[in-house]
Amino acid sequence: MIDYQFNFDVIWRNWDNFLGALGMGLGLAAASLTLGAILGLGLAAARISGKRWLDRPVWLYVELVRNTPLLLLIFFVYFGLPEIGIYVLDKYHSFILTLTLYAAAYMCEVFRAGLTSIPNGYLEAGKAIGLRPAQRARYVMLPMMFRITLPAMSNNFISLFKDTSLAAAIAVPELTFTARQVNANTFRVVEAWLTASILYLAAAYLIAWALRRVERRYAMIR
């Protein structure tokens, strides 16, 4: 490394900022993913409802959202909604709304795939013991779908958590934003980005580890 002297002092001086920023990212992710999963489940139910007027619009929504860059959606919601008279959202809520809508499209696909991969025999067994449709959904389909989709869900969770870095583009003080500020103010370029990278990696591994525990807890013999 050419003449570059490492100096992590600025990192320690800004350590509280970094940790707070990490917490901010995790909070944004938790809120958006919870809402996104709920919305996604509803969308998935619409997709497999067998009713074209429900299925088609949801399909279109999912395709449009998944093929549009998240950064564009963030700007569109943040700068565009006030244009049509919606002023109530600050940058935090605006970002959560965007990531929720984005996550829902991805979750919808994960859940739909999980629901359609449930072998028919289980549903028939549910019918045979006299379960009503809602009961079959509650006691057969949802639990099986949950187990089948857990691995795919954890991939999605991690990837959506990483997407919270884009909140920096609308000045939400999360990790990327903080690292960039430290970079600009102190010129400790490598230290700032290294710290952010390590914190992101640590958080991603933490999420993966937690979800793997859930997976093991709910492991299904197949």
Binding piece for other proteins, criterion CB under 8 A, among 32-40, 80-88, 118-126, 134-142: 80-88
Residue 4 is classified by DSSP as P
Rounded Cα distance between 108 and 106, Å, is: 5
Is position 186 an interface residue for other proteins (rule: CB under 8 A)? Answer: no
Rounded Cα distance between 41 and 61, Å, is: 14
Shortest CA distance to 61 belongs to which of 16, 102, 112? 102
Give whichever of 59 and 193 is closer to other proteins, judged by the CB atom: 193
Binding piece for other proteins, criterion CB under 8 A, among 109-117, 122-130, 158-166, 212-220: 158-166
Pick the binder of other proteins from 171, 189, 210, 220 (CB under 8 A). Answer: 189
Give whichever of 43 and 203 is closer to other proteins, judged by the CB atom: 203
Give whichever of 2 and 221 is closer to other proteins, judged by the CB atom: 2
Is position 83 an interface residue for other proteins (rule: CB under 8 A)? Answer: yes
The answer to whether 87 touches 140, Cβ cutoff 8 Å, is no
The contacts of residue 21 (CB under 8 Å, 6+ apart) are: 173, 174, 175, 177, 178
Pick the binder of other proteins from 6, 15, 79, 139 (CB under 8 A). Answer: 79
Q: How far is the CB of 143 from other proteins (least distance, A)?
A: 28
- Cα four-point dihedral sign 127, 130, 133, 135: negative
- Cα four-point dihedral sign 52, 139, 103, 91: positive
Residue whose token pair is 């992710």: 29
The answer to whether 148 touches 87, Cβ cutoff 8 Å, is no
Residues 5-64 that bind other proteins (CB under 8 A): 64
Q: Which residues bind other proteins (CB under 8 A)?
A: 1-2, 4, 64, 66-73, 75-76, 79-80, 83-84, 158, 162-163, 165-166, 168-169, 175-176, 179-180, 183, 189-190, 193, 196-197, 200-201, 204-205
